[in-house]
Amino acid sequence: MRLDVVTIFPEYLEPLNVSLVGKARARGQLDVHVHDLREWTYDRHNTVDDTPYGGGPGMVMKTDPWGDALDTVLADGYEKGSQAPAIVVPTPSGRPFTQELAVELSGRPWLIFTPARYEGIDRRVVDEYAARIPVYEVSIGDYVLAGGEAAVLVVTEAVARLLPGVLGNAESHRDDSFAPGPMANLLEGPVYTKPPAWRGREIPEVLLSGHHGKIARWRRDEALRRTTANRPDLIERCAPGSFDKKDREM
Ligand SMILES: N#Cc1c(-c2ccc3ccn(Cc4ccccn4)c3c2)n[nH]c1N
């Protein structure tokens, strides 16, 4: 997968050099290019913003730098053999970024992220490119950030971990919160490791029993308990009859 990021804060994307994404880059599973939007400005102040038409607070990011940057990025990718790009626009007004959307994006060969600042990008930029390639406008949550770079880090990590061979244990996806299967729409339950006792707190006995069926049942019960407590909305999403009455009275 090729990832391009166009930003006025390229240093914000330094975390893409470390940990899971950094290792995937080193193994050649991810080809990441971070671009400084100001390289496509030609005035002495490298201006990327201007006042909003219609008045209102803040500034809007100008069309030309984004158009020139995206044209250059697209030309470079095509020239190097990349195909089927999609643009990902982080925005507070976007569709919720979910595990399902992460799975969809992980199936694409080339993502171009356009994290903006100020009040966002002139709408005509999105309209220009949406006319010829898929554009995903996504929000990582119901809170307001000052820009889209943090969202790029979130989306990139959620997508990269789904790429074949990136997560060491191929089974790890199976128990993901929100992943399809028996744990779909359930949050992960508690996890434990050695020592068996710590400051007088012991491990749930079932986890030391070696009885895989009982352990699986306990984990599912704990996931249901945590989901009921923290995300009752997810319980409603589960298929009717997923849990018998006893399950839900825990
Ligand atoms: N994803 C995501 C986001 C963002 C986000 C993403 C990109 C930009 C570019 C500028 N701003 C500031 C801003 C504040 C208010 C109204 C418009 N724009 C962004 C905020 N906020 N919250 C999320 N879940």
What is the interface pTM, i.e. ipTM, of the complex? 0.98
Q: Are 70 and 122 in contact (CB under 8 A)?
A: no
Residue 36: C-alpha distances to residues 65, 115, 154, 248 (Å): 10, 11, 20, 52
The residue with tokens 């950030």 is 145
Q: What average pLDDT does the segment 47-69 reach?
A: 98
Protein residue with least CA distance to atom 11, ligand 1: 147
Which residues are identified as catalytic? 92, 119, 161, 176
Q: What's the whole-number mean pLDDT along residues 25-41?
A: 98
- Asked if pLDDT for residue 247 goes beyond 70, the answer is no
Angle at 126 between CA 120 and CA 127, to 5 degrees: 135
Question: In this predicted structure, what is the pLDDT of residue 183?
Answer: 74
Least trusted range by pLDDT, from 46-55, 144-153, 206-215, 230-239: 230-239
By the 8 A CB rule, do 245 and 219 touch?
no
Q: Does residue 250 register a pLDDT over 60?
A: no
Going by CA atoms, what residue is nearest to atom 16 of ligand 1?
A: 119
pLDDT at 246 over 70: no
pTM of the predicted model over 0.90: yes
List, chain by chain if needed, residues with CB within 6 Å of any ligand 1 atom. Answer: 90-92, 116-117, 119-120, 139-141, 143-148, 151
Least confident among 34-43, 88-97, 110-119, 174-183: 174-183
At residue 175, the pLDDT reads 61
